[in-house]
Amino acid sequence: MIIYLIGFMGSGKSTLGRPLANRLGYSFVDLDEQIETHSGCKIADIFAQYGEEYFRNLESQYLKEIAANKSNLVVSTGGGVPCFNNNMELMNASGVTIYLNLSPKMLADRLSNARATRPLIASKSSDELLQYITQTLAARDEFYSKANVIIANPSRDVSQIVTVISPYLDGKHSLKN
């Protein structure tokens, strides 16, 4: 079983993904880290040197490799992954998708000190950041809302996610949309 955590930058996908994998006895993969390790290049440098489209293609390439995996995995995806190259369909077809849904204000608070490594927001002021999040989240909603499970204001304790996904793990809930 593959569990994909999706959501905007700062929604806690990596922070929750690691303990979730531990709790379930699954392996953990962070897609951004996977890209950086394999390319030997930081995400910000990939954007700067090759542009966003190149990065989006890398994301899809590594996502396909992960989706073909037969082992138990928790995957933390970059915030844009569901919105490009039919990645959302691939994730829904190969596992359970969980959308960590936070308000623009909460995301802006969390991201205000975590801009530097994220090229899409690195140069934004606090006002610009909130505006960017509000607009981008609205545009991404049509993709994020295709998730199998949506958790609004997720708690920092993984027990909540474990409870919500247990029907999928027990096979009581069909994976097909």
- Binding region for ligand S3P (CB under 6 A): 9, 13, 32, 43, 78-80, 118-120
Nearer to ligand S3P, 19 or 119 (CB): 119
**Nearest-approach distance from CB 43 to ligand S3P, in angstroms:** 5
**Nearest distance from C-beta of residue 92 to ligand S3P, angstroms:** 19
Helices (H), the chain: 13-24, 31-39, 43-50, 52-67, 87-94, 104-111, 126-144, 159-169
Q: To the nearest whole angstrom, how small is the minimum distance from the Cβ of residue 125 to ligand S3P?
A: 18
The amino acid sitting at 101 is: N
Residue 69 Cβ vs ligand S3P, minimum distance, rounded to whole Å: 20
Comparison of 140 and 169: residue with beta carbon closer to ligand S3P: 140
The nearer residue to ligand S3P, 105 or 173, going by C-beta atoms, is 105
Q: Residues, the chain, total?
A: 177
158 burial type by CB count under 10 A (0-12 exposed, 13-18 middle, 19+ buried)? buried
Contact (CB, 8 A) for 7 and 100: yes
- Assign residue 85 a region (left: φ > 0; alpha: ψ between -120 and 50; beta: otherwise): left
Q: Which is nearer to ligand S3P, 119 or 175 (CB)?
A: 119
